[in-house]
Amino acid sequence: MSENGIHFRRDRFEQRKKRSAKSSIILVVLLLALIGAWIYLSRTAKGGKADNAATTETNINTDMKKVTDFFLTGKNGQQVSLSEWKGKVLLIVNTATGCGFTPQYDELEAMYKKLKDKGFEILDIPCNQFGNQTPGTDEEITEFCQVKFGTDFPQFKKSDVNGENELPLYTWLKSQKGFEGFDADNKLTPILEKMFDEKNPGWRETSDIKWNFTKFLINRDGDVVARFEPTCSLDKVEQAVEALL
């Protein structure tokens, strides 16, 4: 066999190895997402308080408000007014560090770098309500995200987005855009729907956040214009963002 033939076979072998490794990584990510969802749903079915998915009434008046009327708590414990981002297009997302969807941080950071100079901002709110997939301190969460994904967008104190201790911001967000279903073209959707149906009947009827990396899109006027479930392609999210810039 000629030397060129040997090199050709070797190159093909290396390409197959790389494809195989990439497929294995994708499979692991999907499995982690499903395992986390199963744990979460099992706890919810048993009435776990931390993962309570029931809609909770609060005293907040959700009528005639803008996103700039709300506050978030910074990692230093100080209150931050969202009026700081008045006039910008915002993507507000509840995140987790140990979720099958955590690699979305890569795409979110890429989107942020591409569009931030055009008036776009991402507000990151870590949350540990879904499968206990964000167990670290605020400092540990920030270090993880910056080291592993190079995130540069604002990240706030770990907070609840459902239940009796949910952020007033999220009470308002959910009142503006309820749950409209997982994305049909995502391979995880039928599996997730089956597990939710078995463990928590009626889950489709609540506006509550279903899982990590749910995203709300806010226009320059401070109104909620879209809600994206974690199963939504980040390409679709980016297209919706660009349409508002």
Pick the closest to residue 214 from 51, 93, 72 (CA basis): 93
Torsion of CA 96, 101, 106, 107, to 10 degrees: -120
Q: Which domains does the chain have, with CATH numbers?
A: 5-48+56-244 (3.40.30.10)
- Active-site residue, from 99, 127, 145, 232: 99
Confidence of residue 192 (pLDDT cuts 50, 70, 90): confident
Tokens of 136: 């670290």
| CA-based nearest residue to 121, from 161, 69, 86 | 86
Q: Alpha carbon of 28 to those of 25, 76, 204: distances in Å?
A: 5, 35, 27
Q: Could you tell me the strand order of the sheet in which 89-95 lies? A: 120-126, 89-95, 215-218, 224-228
Render pLDDT for 26-76 as a digit per residue (tens, 0 to 9).
Answer: 555 555 566 665 555 555 544 444 443 333 334 456 566 899 999 999 988
Active site residue 145: no
pTM of the predicted structure, to 2 decimals: 0.79
**Residue-level pLDDT at 50:** 40
Identify each DSSP E strand in the chain by its residue range.
71-73, 79-81, 89-95, 120-126, 215-218, 224-228
% of the chain at pLDDT higher than 90: 67
> In Å, what is the CA distance from 128 to each residue of 173, 198, 209, 239?
19, 23, 12, 29
- Greater pLDDT, 19 or 54: 19
Q: Which of 39, 195, 52, 208 is nearest to 132 (CA)?
A: 39
pLDDT score for 131: 86
